[in-house]
Amino acid sequence: MINNRYSRNISCIGAEGQKRLSDASVFIIGCGALGGQTAMLLAGAGVGRIGIADFDTIDISNLQRQLFFAEEEAGRPKAEVIADRMRRLNSEIRVDVYERMIRPADGPELLSAYDFIIDATDNPATKYMTDRMCRLIRKPGCIGGVAGWQGQVVSVTGRDDDGTLSFADIFPPPDADPSMLPCEVTGVMGTAASVIASIQAAEAVKYIIGEGRRAVGSIVSVNLLTLEFHRIELASSNRDGGSR
C-alpha cells in the first residue's frame, strides 16, 4: 500500500516508481559499513523484499562507521541486528536473513530469486565471486569498495552479450593487485563508507524504477579528502546502464 510513508519518494519517482520498488527484491552481500547502510536505505525506500547475508559479529571497532549498531550489541551477529533495525524502520517490507558466508556452490541458486545483487563486502575475492554469480544467473548488480577517504562503485548487467565489462574485466585478479586489501588493513573513514553505500543503494533504485544512468561499463570514484568525483568510462556500448 502506498501511503504518506513514501510521499517524498513519490514526489521524485511517482506512484508507479514506488510500486516498482515495493514489487522488487534486492540481495545484499555483507552487513558492514557499506551493506548495513545500503540495507537501511533500501528498507526506508520501500523495496519490498531485501535479502542480507553476513557471517560476522559486531565488534566495537565497527562503530565509527557502522552507525546502525550499538555498543551493547558487540558480539551479536551483524545480519540479525541489521534485520531487526530494518523491520523496525519499515514493517511493510520482507527481510530475508542469512547468517553465513555466501559460497559459489549455493550462491547462484539463492541469488537467482532476487532482482538486483549488491556486493558490499571488503573482501576482494568475494567481489570476484559476486561478479561471476551475476553473470551465471544473468542478474544485474553493483559492487562497491572503500578504503581510507576513497571509494569506488562498479555496476554490472550480468550479461555476456551486451558489450559491457564485468568487474573482473575492469580490475585485475586479487593476487595480482596487492593494493586491494580489506579495511582492517587499509583503514576506512565512516564518511567515505556512507557516500559509497548511498551510491550503491541509488544504483539499485535506478535499476528497479528504470530511470537514470548507472555505473555500467565505468568506474565511479570518490575521494572525500580532495572532494573529487570521477566517472571513468570503460565501455562503448550500453553506457546508460540499461533499464528494464
The string of pLDDT tens digits covering residues 56-114 is 999 999 898 988 998 999 999 999 999 999 999 999 999 999 999 999 998 999 999 99
The per-residue pLDDT for 141 is 96
pLDDT, tens digit, 9 for 90 and up, residues 32-65: 999 999 999 999 999 999 999 999 999 999 898 9
- The percent of residues in the chain predicted with pLDDT above 70, rounded, is 90
Among 144-148, 208-212, 232-236, name the one with the lowest average pLDDT.
232-236
Q: What is the mean pLDDT of residues 156-183?
A: 72
Q: Which domain holds residue 228?
A: 13-233
Of 96, 87, 77, nearest to 31 (Cα)? 77
Q: Determine the average pLDDT of the residues in 228-243.
A: 65
- The tally of domains found in the chain comes to 1
Q: At what angle do helices 33-45 and 190-209 cross, to 10 degrees?
A: 40
243 located within any domain: no
What's the whole-number mean pLDDT along residues 189-218? 95
Lowest mean pLDDT among 65-74, 134-143, 187-196, 235-244: 235-244
Q: What angle do CA 84, 103, 101 make, to 5 degrees?
A: 30
Specify if 184 maps to a domain. Answer: yes
CATH code of the domain containing 76:
3.40.50.720
Asked if residue 141 is part of any domain, the answer here is yes
User: According to the model, what pLDDT value does residue 67 have?
Assistant: 87
Q: How far apart are CA 60 and CA 74, in angstroms?
A: 6
In a domain, 103, yes or no: yes
Say if 20 falls within a structural domain: yes
Residue 5 lies in a domain: no
**pLDDT score for 66:** 85
